[in-house]
Amino acid sequence: MCGIVGFMSRNTPAAGPLVSGLHRLEYRGYDSAGVALVAPDGLRVYKQTGKVAELDALLKRELSEEDRRRCTIGIAHTRWATHGLPTRENAHPHLAGGGTLALVHNGIVENYASLRAGLEKRGVQFVSQTDTEVLAHLVAHYDQGDLLAATCKALRRVEGTYGIALVSAKHPGEMIVARKGSPLVIGVGESDIVVASDVSAIVAFTRQVIYLKDGDVARITPGSVDIHSLDNAPVSREVQEVDWDIGAIEKGGYEHFMLKEIFEQPDALRNTIRGRLDPTGGTAILSGLNLSPRELAAIRRLVIIGCGTSLHAGMVGKYLFEDLADIPASPEQAAEFRYCNPIVGPDDWVIALSQSGETADTLAAVRESIRKGALVSGLCNVVGSTIAREAGRGVYLHAGPEISVASTKAFTAQVTALLMTALKLGRTRRLSREEGIRLVAEIMRIPDLISAVLERNDAIARAAEKHANANDMFFIGRGILYPTALEGALKIKEIAYVHAEGYQAAELKHGPIALLCPKTPVVALLADIPGKEKTLGNVQECRARRAPVIGLVTEGDSEAAAAVDDAITLPPTSRELAPIVSVVALQLFAYHVARLRGCEIDQPRNLAKSVTVE
């Protein structure tokens, strides 16, 4: 969840690039920040609770110009509290070895208590409540002149996950980084080397990157990167080029990244679709799946795993696969799947959804599925991510970087990718060529349909204004729109801090209807597809309890528009595309409610973009 940045140069002062990198990682969520710089006479460490801007101000006050110029190596961190309150003492970097070694860490050390007890018996005094400080003292304990070897020894004793970067005044010309379950990327520039937990902190310096794999430990010196295994054996990792530039992670004139990313969806979905449809054969071309028609035809069951927004996309996928491919599909929450001893085998296809490709629970579910012999694919947005690499096959979303914590374009890209996958699988079964051609034409309409929804932004903002002060909301839908209702409720919880629940519309009568009152708005998904008439009946039940109803209705559907208090009109669409069209309107609705409530939209409290701990 947290952010790591490391910088090494022969001549360039490190403080500026480190703070700049932290700013680009602010979207990940954090509560404190810190920097450690290597000076000729020792380490300079600065830590602060609150925002990176406050850390920057501290550096400007306390870091002398001479030290700023002399310090060309350093590490930095934004912390999201797990062990210990968000205080300056618990902020990273953590020191050991009498203040000669500094370490930053993402992840969780599960056996930290026993490791800490052993170190305390040796006389080590701890100053924080964190699990991370244990790592720093372990490395210092093993350091007998070879920092890489000491790090390897320390990490072999660790149970849990980590992405770490460390520097030492005893080894002033090097930096050690390592990963297991928490991403780290090394950017290799002409004269500088940048380390980060996300490539967005690197692209301002270079687009040439090395993605570390689990178990990798790297020694970085000016001009060189040497990667080893935990057994200290040399390994080789290829240098890859990032296919987007710094402009992709700027706001581009929008007030918030979330709004920018909502409006990027037409282009993002064009990129997801481009080159992947065969209009003549009525099928999809998904070479990344690396599955022959015979292999696809042999699949007997689908399991779709994900967390949060990705889980909701997977729930939409269930309807698509069962309708188009005539195959049972089960969406599963990744953490539950991991621990329930899942029944999967060679005839099952497990599809893992993750925007970042680093979600800890989803990655663990992928590994469990591979161990049980299932066919596994990843649908990820981040190229080179761990899930994409370990699955070995899948579909990249190509939606571009998503900076706002609340996912928008990744959801619509996931649903689009699942629709194309269902089309391809269906064409190996009973889906006719004519029906396939119809679906190809429908998929090609997606960017234009989203553009049509975005043109209704002002009307959606007016509807949001009427209900921005509500403390509770219900979202209801049926069939393929039920997961969309869940996603709409999640969005407004995430960014507007409104208590919201998504329900299958029929479930209102089984308890939740008791909560309806004039202060509880209901958002009803009423696209003109099968199931609408039943949902209209549920709308009448809501209005009979005087709950105001906001309806997402198809343009020209006067019956549905008349049945609700506030109608948000959407372009006509097919059943398969209704979730995508409807969710864009819900994203805008949540955004405007949050804006009117004065919420911090891109960095909502307590949340992080990439959940790399269980």
Catalytic residues: 2, 609
Q: Which two tokens stand for residue 7?
A: 């910088």
E strands within 283-399? 283-284, 301-306, 329-333, 348-354, 375-380, 394-396
Residue 48: CB atoms within 10 Å: 19
184 neighbors 177 (Cβ within 8 angstroms): yes
The HSE-up count of residue 12 (CA atoms within 13 Å, CB side) is 17
439 neighbors 576 (Cβ within 8 angstroms): yes
Comparing CA positions, the residue from 387, 390, 378, 356 lying closest to residue 608 is 356
List, in order, residues 6 or more apart from 493 with CB less than 8 Å away: 499, 500
E strands within 1-144? 3-9, 32-39, 42-49, 73-79, 94-96, 101-106
Q: Is 74 strand, coil or helix?
A: strand
Comparing CA positions, the residue from 45, 68, 41 lying closest to residue 55 is 45
3-state DSSP of 290-316: CCCHHHHHCCCEEEEEECCHHHHHHHH
Distance CA(387)–CA(183), nearest Å, equals: 11
Distances (CA, A) of 410 to 176, 400, 414, 500: 33, 9, 6, 22
| Residue pointed to by tokens 């925002």 | 51
Residue 86: CB atoms within 10 Å: 14
Distance CA(575)–CA(582), nearest Å, equals: 11
Q: Which two tokens stand for residue 579?
A: 């979730």
475 neighbors 485 (Cβ within 8 angstroms): yes
11 neighbors 191 (Cβ within 8 angstroms): yes
Distance CA(460)–CA(454), nearest Å, equals: 9
**Helix (H) and strand (E) counts in the chain:** 21, 26
Distance CA(426)–CA(406), nearest Å, equals: 32
Q: Is 218 strand, coil or helix?
A: strand
Residue 117: CB atoms within 10 Å: 10
Distance CA(478)–CA(524), nearest Å, equals: 10
What is the distance between the terminal CA atoms of the chain, rounded to a whole angstrom? 11
